[in-house]
Chain A
């Protein structure tokens, strides 16, 4: 708890208040928090618990159920690799492995410079584009393993960093 600033606590409480009339506000509250803060750590769950009367265990359950929520800060660019059935049979596992290898992180992890996070996603509904990768919401269709280094360096260049 100690590490949340007063302003953050106030903002989280404000988000909770905004959904007061809702019957099942939890997912909406957590979505707003995820979008605004980039993650939903334990301290934040405790504030939500106090405001909503739901137990931390229940909130944690929801946070870990949906891959959209994250317990740790996400990178600036979130690479989502779809591992749904269609993508999987078209070699999606090798794509995500390549991203992980090149960035030196595990699925769900974030690079030390805070630039990239890799998420393994369940079917994103882009089966026609299999294997599909999304980066910050933009869908890359029929990704080939050889394109991976290029995609990564494009984002690095966009940030003005030298390779």
Chain B
């Protein structure tokens, strides 16, 4: 690594060669406004021009997000010329923008709004026509409003990086240019897997999760018996909505908040995760023993399931038939729990708090019901829960620490909580599979080989007299490699974990956004490290739990003895398992 000497506002600094001015300035303690660029050039169009600075050597002003530092360079961020130019750039963007911040779901977390405020953009400087809008709220997961789009291309790049063959692209040109799925069709009719990765990088309100808050309000007003359940990853990020440092676990305050929001029961989906492990580990062992379809692939990530149904329909028999944890738990709430409390399942309304936009589409799947009773009635993202809490007037950071409700399904294990991070489902399953095959616990609780953020990880574990080979991938670009091996008949694995979002649920499309400009108190590399920080919160909760293996959860044992009999029983299949079906990537009639 060689260093170069530069000056910013006349002060000398040494920075790494090859950095852009924007990145170098960030390391020196300056945050230059930026919109179209994203972290280390993940998106680097240099088109928005809100990052202009004066730099010696540059012809005219330099776009700091693409212009690299050089020995002896002098950078001026705060010169009158640079300041005026940045303001003009923002004013030009706003001239073709639907500026209704007060009613916009992104307000307060919008980079355009933030930049406009910082540069002092003035009203109506460039009046003119506006590009006709596409507004798509047809899909269950994502709302696209091109009147808020600044054509930065971040979503295009993220979808491509995460999943290989992207869903989004630029279309038309000049004034008519838009970003969206081909043919400008709805996400609902496109090959989109609803993961929401594009939503997490969009600087504006052009892409937002589809809100279901109204649905929840309505159910409450109707006097439904409200049960809420929170996914593992939620506790690792909800605090960010209230300004807490990234990676602060807020399990106790979250439970307290949910109770105060009027939910009759507050449960942890970790219980459902333990249940999933019981079913899935036993399904795997069945397949191994009876010569069933291998490798078996996990099925708890609906983004991944959507992808499999769209592009690998021939491999659907490889997917575990297990529903995902919150769907399983929803089905148990409306059967076992309802019976125990003498409730009519029709009067129960189950709300899942999820790090995920694809879960919104999952709960709407035709298969996700038992005898006409839906497993789950509404799915809210972490951000939506944050909004609900703020709306209620509660001061989250002043709430006491409380626990989840403990009757019937209130106990969970460390295995359940690590479901929220890539490799976690695999690790949890291995802990239980080992026990079933060897009749004792694995010496080390932790299976380190499946942890981490490399695109693909693999491990071989000796158990039951055989070498069980496993692999873990997140993001479809990585998953594709493992899937093509299966297609070609060269896959060496018995069991594969796939999650839709890179890094797993802790990086899901329903999680709070992470941006330098909004996080002045975090490390300057926070956009690279937030996933690991959130993951640490989950691993720590696992370590602190006295119960580390799903099969040791006493309430799971009780659930089987009182209700389900045994894993993969007839009753378990009725309630906890599901089916898949192939679908066309484009579900539109071409004109």
Contact = CB atoms under 8 A, between A and B. Distances in A.
Interface of A: 1, 3, 41-43, 45-46, 49, 53-61, 64-65, 71-72
Contacts of A59: 182
Instruction: Give the interface centre of A42, A53, A55, A72 by most chain B CB atoms within 10 Å.
Output: A55
Which 10 pairs between the two chains have the least Cβ-Cβ distance?
A57-B169, A60-B182, A61-B169, A56-B182, A55-B165, A64-B171, A42-B590, A57-B182, A61-B170, A64-B172
Contact of B585 (A46, A54, A71): A46
A121 to B, nearest CB: 13
B394 interface: no
Instruction: Give the interface centre of A1, A49, A57, A72 by most chain B CB atoms within 10 Å.
Output: A57
A158 B338 CA distance: 79
B43 to A, nearest CB: 15
A45 B182 contact: yes
Instruction: Give the interface centre of B168, B171, B172, B191 by most chain A CB atoms within 10 Å.
Output: B171
11 contacts: A1-B584, A1-B586, A3-B590, A42-B590, A45-B182, A56-B585, A57-B168, A57-B169, A61-B169, A65-B173, A72-B591
Interface in B537-591: 584-586, 588, 590-591
A1 B586 CA distance: 9
Contacts of B586: 1, 42, 46, 56
A106 to B, nearest CB: 14
A55 B170 contact: no
Interface in B169-183: 169-173, 181-183
Contacts of B173: 64-65
Contact of B181 (A1, A57, A72): A57
B160 A42 contact: no
A60 B165 contact: no
B172 A65 contact: yes
Interface of B: 156, 160, 165-173, 181-183, 191, 584-586, 588, 590-591
B166 A57 contact: yes
Nearest to B169: A57
Instruction: Give the interface centre of A49, A65, A71, A72 by most chain B CB atoms within 10 Å.
Output: A65
Contacts of B167: 55, 57
B186 to A, nearest CB: 14
A42 B172 contact: no
A53 B590 CA distance: 22
A49 B4 CA distance: 44
A72 B183 CA distance: 12
A73 B380 CA distance: 44
A93 to B, nearest CB: 16
Contacts of B590: 3, 41-43
A57 B181 CA distance: 6
Contact of B166 (A3, A42, A55, A71): A55
A42 B182 contact: yes
A37 to B, nearest CB: 13
Nearest to A43: B590
A147 to B, nearest CB: 30
Nearest to B180: A57
A71 B168 CA distance: 18
A42 B181 CA distance: 12
Contacts of B160: 55
Instruction: Give the interface centre of A3, A49, A61 by most chain B CB atoms within 10 Å.
Output: A61
A60 B588 contact: no
Contacts of B182: 42, 45, 55-57, 59-61
Contacts of B584: 1
A42 B171 contact: no
B322 to A, nearest CB: 31
Contacts of B166: 55, 57-58
A60 to B, nearest CB: 4
B183 A60 contact: yes
Given A42-B182, A56-B586, A58-B166, 19 more contacts: A41-B591, A42-B586, A42-B588, A42-B590, A43-B590, A55-B160, A55-B167, A55-B169, A57-B156, A57-B166, A57-B168, A57-B181, A59-B182, A60-B169, A60-B182, A61-B169, A61-B171, A65-B171, A65-B173
A1 B156 CA distance: 24
A64 B173 CA distance: 7
A59 B169 CA distance: 9
A59 B181 CA distance: 11
Contacts of A64: 171-173
Nearest to A56: B182
Contacts of A60: 169, 171, 182-183
Given A1-B584, A41-B590, A72-B591, A58 B169 contact: yes
A5 to B, nearest CB: 14
B165 to A, nearest CB: 4
B171 to A, nearest CB: 5
A58 B179 CA distance: 11
Contacts of B172: 64-65
A109 B590 CA distance: 16
Contacts of A58: 166, 169
Nearest to B170: A61
B533 to A, nearest CB: 32
A43 B182 CA distance: 12
Contacts of A49: 165
Contacts of A57: 156, 166-169, 171, 181-182
Nearest to A67: B173
B54 to A, nearest CB: 34
B183 A42 contact: yes
B335 to A, nearest CB: 41
Contacts of A41: 590-591
B555 to A, nearest CB: 46
A95 to B, nearest CB: 21
